[in-house]
Chains A and B, each alone.
Chain A
């Protein structure tokens, strides 16, 4: 189908984009469009105004500011996936970016667009939560920074107001950490029923630190803190990891839908966490 008619703006600066958002009540921000376009085509949304961020060069690219990697919100997944500094300092992001959609989607879809869309089954939200990334938001009053855990508020809902933009994502360095992203779907191209993002730092054969994020185990991405705590100080063995991973669903209220009920998702969370942590620790 053809989308409903709208007025189109393609600003070349963030300030210009913010002014457009202030000016128009029913404006929708277009990033890479890989989620928005199908919605417009099916006329599930019919905004009066589209503000396309595609011409704002300042929002693209990845830089290393010493302490953190800074990913521009409009950087396509294919660039993130292939970036050597991300592979070195935040391998979990490389792996999850490579698992998004398909090659065509990764050429257009953007890092910030996926996060701002906040689909509970998306790949990146659980990763930025697991890695304690900081979301840099720009609005009429300047910039504010929100921790990833406080960015997501519900299904397709974030802390972003109508007149704000997610402009960049700051990721602390996890140099030397092992990582693995494990997603489970029944058929090709399906959103994961559950996905687990894991990063571990080993000290000898012992797990010194662990980060585990869960996707599609609730309306927002969840940090599996019980698993993280249970892993610390444990040997990176199948037995120890299995015991810790059994706690993956602690405190979660996963959804029930045609792909699986809540109990099945809890089971998946534990199985996928075991696999992800073992692979991250190089023992998978």
Chain B
């Protein structure tokens, strides 16, 4: 076991983890933050995307021990005082989901994208989300939502 200390969605945690524990499994099973989902075994789908020190990573593609001393933001840490994050609001208003499974990852990566590029074109949104798969193929409305969030000042 290794002891790690992390900050997740604003809260501090110190936990013992097996070195082989993936970050996503630590978030879901030890912290109960099931908002971050696992969609594949290969690192392709992006459903488990979280922010590590403010930058997007696939939480299935790193071990929890590697996050020791770092700060993580998951989909569960976005809303404040019951108010959705502008990106969540934009996904809601633009019907940017069907089954919703890819949505946590899509929203986290979209926030990362706007941090680099606050006003992306449609093509830039598609390129910025190339690591996130939506198997309902609802990409049109996802692109719309990201652009709406950008227009609403969603790079927060």
Contact = CB atoms under 8 A, between A and B. Distances in A.
A5 B56 contact: no
Contacts of A101: 131
Interface in B61-79: 61-63, 65-66
Given A103-B112, A189-B44, A108 B61 contact: yes
Contacts of A188: 130
Contacts of B57: 104, 107-108
A188 B135 CA distance: 13
Contacts of B18: 5
Given A54-B66, A105-B58, A8 B19 contact: yes
Interface of A: 1-8, 10, 33-34, 37-38, 40-42, 50, 52, 54, 78, 101-105, 107-108, 188-189
Contacts of B46: 102, 104
11 contacts: A4-B20, A5-B18, A6-B20, A33-B62, A37-B22, A38-B61, A42-B41, A42-B42, A52-B66, A104-B56, A104-B112
B66 A2 contact: no
Most buried by A among B43, B46, B49, B130: B43
Nearest to A107: B55
A50 B66 CA distance: 12
A1 B2 contact: no
Contacts, number: 85
B138 interface: no
Nearest to A10: B65
A10 B109 CA distance: 28
Nearest to B19: A8
Contacts of A40: 20
Given A2-B25, A38-B42, A50-B19, A103 B61 contact: no
Given A104-B57, A107-B57, A8 B65 contact: yes
Nearest to A1: B41
Contacts of A1: 41
